[in-house]
Structure 1
């Protein structure tokens, strides 16, 4: 993963930003970091690539705080200021799919099943959440719910793990992400998912694909198709951005926070207006 900390990041102006798997409505959503990121940047176009709101969790128990409100308000404010916003629902906010395949625009946000993004360099990318290529979610929703509960348990452990790290003066680390990468079956499932999504982009004649769903932020070439996953705001806290020259990069906001130099007050104010 490329972590950016340079003049282009300091400008905090992008042609396009891609976000997914925010999971608003859950205790482990890092809405605080996302709010800071949204407040410190501008973009011409914003893609919300699914699972922005976690309907699964909200059905079981209600959790919503001021940071969650801030994220929603900032997105709406961006739309009012002229940012084009495209929302592609995922499996956790699948209730929004009731209005698909017909496109719908509400409060300046365009809802659609998939999208085609053309970069400033002329490359074409298929944009989708990706759960339709996850066989468990697609064919066995009950098993998917069980998996979701196990993932929630891992995140609870992760929360306490990082509480201890903070008290020891150590930076944030995702224990749940590390555990997932140690399980051979999970790694194989990620590989199968990436291959299936890239094959779909190839079938449609695209140069690449941009997706979310599996909480694994990466940019990689798969036999001539550029596969890009923008990660999540539970573990990775990553965003995929297109710069004005058409180049694509991943931003890891937890790494950016750790790497801020002591004299970077201007950069901090641009990225984190609420304070670092």
Structure 2
């Protein structure tokens, strides 16, 4: 019986239960709890379906900027916080690195609350021995550093774009079409946005290089990415507003990006098996 058929006939698949996926380390950031744009329900599914020795919360976990303008906090947001606290209580090493949207928490740097360590930045050593600088990244954002008022304006515009996106993608979903991100499209097509992202990534890589480290792990710009920048491994874990992504480390120290769909959607497992089977068949034909 083929692996895909074995999975489809397994008790786990038929019961509808999803096996917990275990990693050495998980990094998530830019949850923006406290906003209607936060995909809290899917985030909760991800947290419940995964386990790790260490969980990094790499900034913008709670959106203080938006909460000051308009209070938004439903039960699902509560459940996310309670799930993280429960993980810490059960032995997960939870480390919170505040960002610009939850910058008020920076006054508690180097303190521990409810089993959660609050740190400004730190070095993570992978199982493969790579030393990675972990920080949110906002201090390397020229707009945040030099014109914070412009960052507030940009945040308001981003909120408007997200609301339009929700309406537009509700229509696409009813039409059987996949999710499409206007903000990601603009980031990729607008020359200044592309330049801004490149400068941000280069600045972070330079910081890791200056500290004599192998790479850097950050969030902030909502663009999941793993790439080599002049010998420095740059990793951005994305966000839980649009990309629904996380960075994970396996037992061997390999870093990769995963999404909510990768972890939760059973069909993706079957597709992975099918792809592997197809490749094996092609290799057999060619040999």
Q: Normalised by the size of structure 2, how large is the TM-score?
A: 0.85
Q: Are 2:183 and 1:183 equivalent residues in the alignment?
A: no
Specify which of 51, 74, 79 is matched with residue 70 of structure 1. 79
1:179 is displaced (CA, Å) by 2.2
Counterpart-to-counterpart distance in 1, 2:171 and 2:42: 19
Specify which of 240, 243, 246 is matched with residue 233 of structure 1. 240
Note the alpha carbon deviations across 1:25-77, whole angstroms, 9 max, x for none.
01010111110000011100000000000000000001111221111111001
Counterpart-to-counterpart distance in 2, 1:165 and 1:111: 40
Could you say which residue in structure 1 is the equivalent of 2:163?
156
Counterpart-to-counterpart distance in 2, 1:89 and 1:170: 36
Evaluate the alpha carbon distance shift between residue 261 and residue 108 of structure 1 in structure 2; reply closer, same or farther with a 3 A threshold.
Answer: closer
Q: Are 2:107 and 1:98 equivalent residues in the alignment?
A: yes
1:166 is displaced (CA, Å) by 1.4
Counterpart-to-counterpart distance in 2, 1:27 and 1:261: 28
The question of whether the paired residues in 1 share the 8 Å contact of 2:20 and 2:51 is answered with no
Stretches of 4+ aligned residues off by more than 3 angstroms:
254-259, 261-264
The question of whether the paired residues in 2 share the 8 Å contact of 1:14 and 1:243 is answered with yes
Counterpart-to-counterpart distance in 2, 1:18 and 1:196: 20
Give unpaired runs (5+ residues) of structure 2: 1-6, 8-17, 272-287
Could you say which residue in structure 2 is the equivalent of 1:53?
62
Aligned-pair Cα RMSD in Å: 1.9
Counterpart-to-counterpart distance in 2, 1:181 and 1:24: 26
1:157 is displaced (CA, Å) by 1.0
Counterpart-to-counterpart distance in 1, 2:262 and 2:27: 18
Note the alpha carbon deviations across 1:77-99, whole angstroms, 9 max, x for none.
10011000110000000000122
Could you say which residue in structure 2 is the equivalent of 1:139?
146
How is 1:165-176 mapped onto 2 (pairs within 5 angstroms)? 165-176=172-183
Evaluate the alpha carbon distance shift between residue 33 and residue 22 of structure 1 in structure 2; reply closer, same or farther with a 3 A threshold.
Answer: same
Evaluate the alpha carbon distance shift between residue 179 and residue 123 of structure 1 in structure 2; reply closer, same or farther with a 3 A threshold.
Answer: same
The question of whether the paired residues in 2 share the 8 Å contact of 1:161 and 1:175 is answered with no
The question of whether the paired residues in 1 share the 8 Å contact of 2:221 and 2:238 is answered with yes
Counterpart-to-counterpart distance in 2, 1:121 and 1:145: 40
Counterpart-to-counterpart distance in 1, 2:203 and 2:20: 36
1:175 is displaced (CA, Å) by 2.4
Counterpart-to-counterpart distance in 1, 2:172 and 2:182: 11
Higher alpha-carbon Rg: 2
Aligned length: 255
Q: Normalised by the size of structure 1, how large is the TM-score?
A: 0.88
Give unpaired runs (5+ residues) of structure 1: 1-6, 265-276
Of 148-157 and 186-195, the range deviating more from structure 2 = 148-157
Indicate the SS of the match to 2:99.
coil
The question of whether the paired residues in 2 share the 8 Å contact of 1:172 and 1:254 is answered with no
Could you say which residue in structure 1 is the equivalent of 2:4?
none
| Greater relative contact order, per chain length (Cα 8 Å cut-off, separation 6+) | 1
Q: Are 2:258 and 1:251 equivalent residues in the alignment?
A: yes
The question of whether the paired residues in 2 share the 8 Å contact of 1:89 and 1:112 is answered with yes
The question of whether the paired residues in 2 share the 8 Å contact of 1:25 and 1:58 is answered with yes
How is 1:197-236 mapped onto 2 (pairs within 5 angstroms)? 197-236=204-243
Could you say which residue in structure 2 is the equivalent of 1:272?
none
The question of whether the paired residues in 2 share the 8 Å contact of 1:171 and 1:258 is answered with no
